[in-house]
Amino acid sequence: MSIFRFASLSLLLAMAACEAASEPVFASSELASRSTPTTSTSVPSVISITTSEAGTLRGTFLPATAGKSPLAIIIPGSGPTDQNGNGPFLKTDTYRLLANGLQSAGISSLRIDKRGMFSSASGGVDPNAVSLEVYGRDMRAWINEMAPQSASNCVWLIGHSEGGLVAIATAAESSAGICGLILLASPGRRLSDVMRQQLRSNPANSIVLDDALGAIERLEQGQIVDVTKMHPALKQLFDPSVQGFLISLFQFDPVAALQKHTLPVLVVQGREDLQVTLEDAAKLGNSRPNTIQVNFDGVTHTLKAIRPGDMAANQATYSNPKLPLAPGLVKSISEFIAKHAKP
């Protein structure tokens, strides 16, 4: 999940975990250790898997029933955002609320912490040395672990914001073990284009706009940017530690990646989202057959409901975990899963 500051999705990316070079894909046999979920109760349990590349990854498994049920993996958004939807800059509880709602609808879930962060911080793994490909390998390890626990021997990937890009990239590489994708407030364009639009749309950015656009163009070309003489806000946005990840994101076309498989896809977008637009949702929704788009009035990037146009209320959704999820959100997801459930 992201935080709305200098240029909304822009700075949220700068606070994100970010990449380095690609590393060899590990096979499922490389899982050195694991902790298998128990479905004997509906009580949450901590699940862990260990890979040679990522160290120990952890998440919280919330079973819906004592037996097998549809199962979804909730992928967090950008930056230091934990499995509940919280972090140093966020207090939303969005993913915990989503997991609870899915449980009530008969759907089990695993919500995860990204490598090098929170409960998955172990073994000296650098949370900035990542890319979409790296996150995809972590997701493949989780899919291999959790798919046998589901009723359909496959899992649903629910990605929020940047997590939606991770879900798209994972399925584009291989759809094995994946039932389908549910993309919540996920960009439908290259992130470089999203950042350009956000920077240009905010008059306060005019003083740094030329430098920012120049940096984006160089990163698109795979070039490292010198930030030493930049405005402090741009130094944070284009911090050297995250430039590798930005290069990875700028090269990724979510529409082209979606077209690499025929899995069912649900695109969910709020009309009050300050970071991802209806244009993004439409690009994803119209990208291919077997894709459904649902737009929610009065819903923000944090998936909470507000009065349309109330900027103060919108920004407050980033810091008030007591706010419930938008009405109808869980219902839309659960009905989509039920419709496309495999026997």
56-84: average pLDDT? 96
Q: What is the pLDDT of residues 275-300, one digit of tens each?
A: 999 999 999 999 999 999 999 999 99
CA 1/CA 301 separation, integer angstroms: 8
- Signed CA dihedral, 159, 289, 262, 248: sign only: negative
CATH number for the domain formed by residue range(s) 27-191+255-338? 3.40.50.1820
pLDDT of residue 2: 35
pLDDT at 82 over 80: yes
Q: Token match 């993309």: residue?
A: 183
Nearest to 88 by CA among 178, 177, 180, 17: 17
CB of 334 closer than 8 Å to CB of 102: yes
pLDDT of residue 342: 76
Nearest to 184 by CA among 83, 105, 76: 76
Q: Beta partners for 110?
A: 61, 73
pTM of the model: 0.89
Phi, psi (deg, nearest 5) at residue 91: -140, 90
130-138: average pLDDT? 96
Model confidence band, residue 202 (pLDDT cutoffs 50, 70, 90): confident
Model confidence band, residue 18 (pLDDT cutoffs 50, 70, 90): very low
What 3 state SS string does the chain have? Answer: CCCCCCCCHHHHHHCCCCCCCCCCCCCHHHCCEEECCCCCCCCCEEEEEEECCCEEEEEEEECCCCCCCCEEEEECCCCCCCCCCEECCEECCHHHHHHHHHHHCCCEEEEECCCCCHHHCCCCCCCCCCCHHHHHHHHHHHHHHHHHHCCCCCEEEEEECHHHHHHHHHHHHCCCCEEEEEEECCCCCCHHHHHHHHHHHCHHHCCCHHHHHHHHHHHHCCCCCCCCCCCHHHHHHCCHHHHHHHHHHHCCCHHHHHCCCCCCEEEEEECCCCCCCHHHHHHHHCCCCCEEEEEECCECCCCEECCCCCHHHHHHCCCCCCCCECCCHHHHHHHHHHHHCCC
CA 55/CA 89 separation, integer angstroms: 26
56-65: average pLDDT? 97
Other beta carbons within 10 Å of 332 = 16
